[in-house]
């Protein structure tokens, strides 16, 4: 059991207590920057706005030389869901049965606290460390992600400020801390496909063309496509239909259109244009009238075994005594905005079993252990 005065546990609790439901930061970033300023970080607020509102971000850096090791994460959390199903107030950090409960405990306020305390410890030990340490923190990861990390990266790229290594604090572990790290993610491409028919009366089908009836052919054809076979790091590309919408609300009317919404999680073996070509050629072969609207949510990225992966596996082995597994599974993360700059990107954080659920939690020992892992990575790369 960790001591009550454990610095990382205490900071984690402070962050959980802030009701930072996306895109609100609720003071989390100030808690972090006040401590970072004390140990020599230059803090830069980079806030951006669009139709969704204003998003708070900051970029903090200690040092000007390379290599630059950046810790990236988000202060926003998802909504709490059904409050009655929580066993304690989601914004009142609660210790119970060896666990710390609260919204954001796993995703990802424990990681944020561990960033800060690991850096504090490392700077105390190595005030003249090599290279630079940076933090890229947003409050827009759980929301539309339009004014957060993507905008900060655009700002850094415009002034040619490069990140060499990026450690994203997403909850990557599955059964115990450090058993899995993400060294890549699949791309995500969505589409709304509207099949166009001719509206009419159900009693006179010969005078209409029912687009709902065409859905069967479309679904069969699209689900039978072999997109790729994956590779050493990625499973084959996955195609999934998430919604079908059609009908006028009346029982005696053949509708004019039907819309299928689908998503592809794709590997590095195929690109966006290759997917589109396969879909379009398949639909054209069915002799349909249709319209499409594509949405690219993120490109796939991969960090192969190298300096950052080695540093992470060594630090995990030292602290946890286990051999970590590399994985590219799961959804998208803000790593998708950072990797295209050329940075090595790895995600390493708490066990993800309870993320986005009611009664979200981490083991009480996790904050301190994760801080020591991050400190080990700093020592490996910047000393």
> What residues form the annotated binding site?
74, 107, 142, 170, 356
- 380 has catalytic annotation: no
Terminal C-alpha separation, the chain: 31
Pairing of strands 289-298, 99-101: unpaired
The residue assigned the tokens 């687009």 is: 211
95 noted as active-site residue: no
- Give the residue numbers of the binding site for Zn(2+): 74, 107, 142, 170, 356
Decide if 333 contacts 182 (C-beta within 8 A). yes
Report the C-alpha gap between 91 and 336 in whole angstroms.
29
Secondary structure letter of residue 108 according to DSSP: I
Number of Cβ within 10 Å of residue 7's Cβ equals: 17
CA distance 1 to 265: 40
Output the CA torsion 28→29→35→36 (10° steps): 150
Q: Beta strand 48-50 with 53-55: parallel, antiparallel or unpaired?
A: antiparallel
**Looking at 141, 319, 347, 360, which residue is catalytic?**
141
Catalytic residue among 6, 76, 140, 209: 76
Describe the crossing of helices 7-17 and 366-382 by its angle, rounded to 10 degrees. Answer: 110
Give one word for 235, left, alpha or beta, with left for phi > 0 and alpha for psi -120 to 50: beta
Cα–Cα distance for residue pair 95/68, rounded to 1 Å? 36
Positions annotated as catalytic residues are: 76, 141
């Amino acid at each position: 059991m960790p001591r009550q005065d454990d610095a990382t546990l205490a900071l984690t609790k402070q962050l959980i207590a802030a009701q930072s439901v996306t895109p609100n930061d609720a003071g989390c970033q100030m808690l972090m920057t006040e401590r970072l300023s004390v140990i020599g970080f230059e803090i830069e607020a980079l806030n951006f706005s669009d139709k969704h509102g204003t998003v708070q971000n900051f970029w903090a850096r200690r040092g000007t030389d390379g290599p630059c090791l950046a810790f990236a994460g988000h202060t926003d959390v998802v909504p709490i869901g059904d409050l009655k199903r929580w066993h304690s107030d989601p914004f009142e950090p609660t210790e119970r049965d060896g666990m710390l409960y609260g919204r954001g405990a796993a995703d990802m306020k424990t990681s944020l606290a561990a960033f800060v305390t690991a850096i504090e410890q490392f700077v105390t030990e190595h005030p003249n460390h090599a290279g630079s340490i940076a933090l890229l923190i947003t409050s827009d990861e759980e929301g539309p992600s339009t004014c957060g990390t993507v905008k900060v990266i655009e700002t850094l790229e415009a002034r040619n400020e490069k990140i060499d290594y990026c450690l994203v604090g997403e909850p990557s572990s599955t059964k115990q801390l450090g058993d899995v790290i993400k060294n890549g993610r699949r791309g995500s491409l969505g589409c709304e496909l509207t099949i166009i028919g001719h509206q009419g009366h159900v009693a006179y089908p010969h005078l209409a063309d029912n687009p709902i009836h065409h859905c069967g052919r479309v679904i069969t054809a699209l689900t039978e496509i072999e997109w790729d076979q994956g590779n050493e790091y990625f499973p084959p590309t996955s195609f999934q239909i998430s919604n079908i919408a059609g009908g006028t609300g009346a029982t005696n009317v053949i509708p004019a259109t039907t819309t299928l919404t689908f998503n592809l999680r794709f590997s590095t073996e195929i690109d966006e244009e290759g997917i589109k070509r396969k879909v379009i050629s398949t639909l054209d072969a069915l002799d349909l009238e249709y319209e499409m609207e594509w949405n690219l949510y993120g490109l796939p990225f991969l960090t192969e075994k190298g300096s950052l992966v080695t540093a992470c596996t060594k630090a995990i082995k030292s602290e946890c005594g286990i051999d970590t597994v590399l994985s590219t599974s799961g959804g998208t993360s803000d790593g998708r905005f950072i990797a295209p700059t050329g940075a090595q990107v790895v995600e390493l954080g708490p066990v993800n079993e309870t993320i986005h659920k009611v009664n979200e939690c981490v083991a009480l020992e996790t904050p301190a252990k994760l801080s020591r892992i991050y400190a080990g990575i700093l020592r490996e790369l910047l000393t």
